[in-house]
Amino acid sequence: MTELLNNREYKKEQLKKLLLRIHEGEDVNKLKEEFRAVLSGISPLEIPIIEQELVKEGISAKDIAKMCDLHVELFREAVAGTEELEEKDLPDGHPLKTLYLENKEIMKDAEMLNLYASTLANTKDERMRKEILGVLEEIVDNLKKVGFTHYNREEMLTFPYIERRGLTAIATVLWTKHDEIRFMIKRLAELLARREEMSWEEFVEKFKAKASETAFALSDMVFRENNIYYPTLKALLTEGEWKAIRQQEDEIGYYKVNPPMWDPGENVKPLHPWEIDPELSVEQLLELPKEVQQALKGQPLEFDKAELKREGDIDLGTGYVNVEELKAIFEALPVDVTFIDKDDRVRFFSPGERIFVRTPSVLGRPVQLCHPPKSVHIVNKILKAFKEGRKKEATFWIRMGPKYVYIKYVPLFDENGNYLGTLEMTMDIAEYKKIDGEKRLLDWRD
């Protein structure tokens, strides 16, 4: 027993020496093999203890954070599961590979959160406490972005494909878990911001417990995604579906990765959820993870076969509506819209809420004649600036009795950059200026 303890103490000392060598500037990659040999006999639970000793010896918390990446990477290698093999099969820039890579970053940050929360609880030095708090604030700020990027891409871009195939329960469970994690991270940020409102002991105790809970939830989600959800996506989605996802990803953004563009080829057509055949073949079902197959037993899948585009629909680029629906949409908008074509003639005005009077007699009229003579020269200047591409908007706001009217003009162009006309949007913002605080969807009452 004494020999075992001595051996462990020896390895702990060796690890401390290696970490100190990194601190002194040695190349991390050159030390990997030495780290691997030492770590093979040390429990991951001992790492925070060793790093705490290093903090006491004067190594800054930010340096410890850099070292943390290495030991997390080595432990990931030691317990690598199917996700590593799956990731290697995928080309760079493939949306599924990007999700795997993001999960590595999420896992690192979850472990760092837990590590520094524990370190903070055991630190007595005021200067070190301040430094560790700074690192924790940075970690929590980063983790907030997981919900905006990684989880959001899954919910908006991948869930529709499995929902279309009848696997709505998987999406529902994951989304629920995502929201729980979002709330945990938000709660951590609030706790950090309110730490002066409580005693140090109370704050540290609460933060350590919440950080541990959050780190576990993040790690658990990584496991669920890597071992259940991503293999499900790989079994079901075709290259065309992945191509459509890749074309939309940049708009949402990524978590600590910057994937290159990936394209399976010009001959592969991007497929959106409404364009796929939702029925699953026997082969596809057999390729699903065992956990998914088990969940589907005895539950017939309800494939979503609804057609998106109907006869008579207008293709608006971001969806399809018929003329009656389009009229109703404009009527419901809390904004007054008027369109002036490239020849400066009024072509359309919305039928709903109106700030300025519009009657059908205005249609076809030159916009210059719709304004008082004293302001026509300004109207012409605005239109000239729009047509020449010198201005992208013109905004004004005026008081009209109880109304506070906001007016915005924007030029419109086709995909080739040709000027199509100008859109005028007018809105009474008086009521909106009174809004304070929040009212969320879940606050709605019947």
Task: Identify whether the C-beta of residue 15 lies closer than 8 Å to the C-beta of residue 39.
Answer: yes
Helices 2-23 and 32-39, packing angle to 10 deg:
160
> Which amino acid makes up residue 68?
C
AA identity, residue 230? Y
Tens-binned pLDDT, residue by residue, of the chain (446 aa): 344 445 556 766 776 777 778 777 777 677 777 877 776 655 544 554 455 555 556 655 555 555 555 555 555 554 444 445 456 789 999 999 999 999 999 999 998 898 889 888 888 888 888 888 998 999 999 999 999 999 999 999 999 998 888 888 788 888 999 999 999 999 999 999 999 999 999 999 999 999 999 999 999 899 889 888 998 899 899 999 999 999 999 999 999 999 999 999 999 999 999 888 888 777 777 777 776 766 666 566 677 777 878 888 898 888 899 989 988 888 888 899 999 999 999 999 988 778 888 888 889 989 988 888 898 899 999 999 999 999 999 999 999 889 999 999 999 999 899 999 999 999 999 898 888 888 887 778 77
Written as one letter, the residue type at 46 is: E
Those residues whose C-beta lies under 8 Å from the C-beta of residue 82, and which sit 6 or more positions away, are 226, 227, 231
Contacts 24+ apart (CB under 8 A), 45-48: 46/8, 46/12, 47/71, 47/115, 48/114, 48/115, 48/118, 48/119
Tokens for 90, please give them: 């995928």
Alpha-helix runs per DSSP H in 288-361: 290-296, 323-332
pTM, two decimals, is 0.72
φ, ψ for residue 144 (rounded to 5)?
-55, -35
Nearest to 397 by CA among 429, 434, 433: 429
- Please tell me the distance from the alpha carbon of residue 27 to that of residue 162, in angstroms, as a whole number: 45
